[in-house]
Amino acid sequence: MEANWEQISSGRSPASLTLTLIQPNGRTAATKSGSSILRLEYQATEQDIRKFGESDASRWSVKILNDADENRREVSGIVRITIPVDTRSLEDTQFTLVGSGNAEEIPFIVPAPGKLEIDASWEPDISSKPSEVTLVVSLIHPGEAKTIARRQGISPVRVEHQVTEEALDRGGRWVIRVQNDTQTKVRGRVKVTYSPSL
């Protein structure tokens, strides 16, 4: 996050401000004081994302404090908050499914609006051709109590979905469900890749 400002009244020493980044639980994540241009960086951890991603009110906030003691110096400025647009893995899980009707649900947290790519791949546990084993891969959003996407096919299967701010308002927890409707035991892997919206 970066803030720059101009002092409205001139002839005095440059105004000093304090920037504070506040977590959704009200605790201070980082703070920094200084004159314009002031840059504050904070690296959110996986623990932060998991902890706050499950809450519908997972909003971070920025507090700006004018540090002037005497007759407040009026300032006018801009605060710019940037989030790196790195693609990253949200989940990478192996699964084993036995006979017909067996399924596994894999939960994960979506931290912010963006694109999800779910890749599921599997092989039969016995000597049969992979093309003969069909699984059902579903993307479920418990916050909306519905299945968002459903794909059935042979390995590999890909599901893509754009997560909106409105969807996240109803919850950051999502679930991948992999179901085996065949008689063949399979072993596989599910990977969830996330790219933030620009």
Q: Quick one: tokens of 163? A: 């997560």
Cβ-Cβ contacts under 8 Å for 88 (sequence gap 6 or more): 193, 194
What pLDDT, on a 0 to 100 scale, did the predictor assign at position 155?
92
3-state secondary structure of 53: helix
Q: Quick one: tokens of 97? A: 């499914």
Measure the CA–CA gap between 120 and 158, rounded to whole angstroms.
Answer: 6
What pLDDT, on a 0 to 100 scale, did the predictor assign at position 54?
55
What pLDDT, on a 0 to 100 scale, did the predictor assign at position 60?
81
Listed residue (99, 94, 81) closest to 120, CA to CA: 94
Measure the CA–CA gap between 99 and 37, rounded to whole angstroms.
Answer: 63
What pLDDT, on a 0 to 100 scale, did the predictor assign at position 57?
58
Q: What is the CA radius of gyration of the chain?
A: 24
Listed residue (172, 194, 188) closest to 118, CA to CA: 194
Binned average pLDDT, 10 residues per bin, the chain of 198 residues: 63 74 87 84 73 65 78 75 74 90 92 92 74 89 93 95 91 94 91 86
Show the domains of the chain with their CATH numbers.
2-80 (no CATH), 88-196 (2.60.120.380)
**Residue 19 Cα distances to 7, 54, 70, 141, angstroms:** 16, 26, 20, 35
Q: Is the peptide bond before 37 cis (omega within 30 degrees of 0)?
A: yes
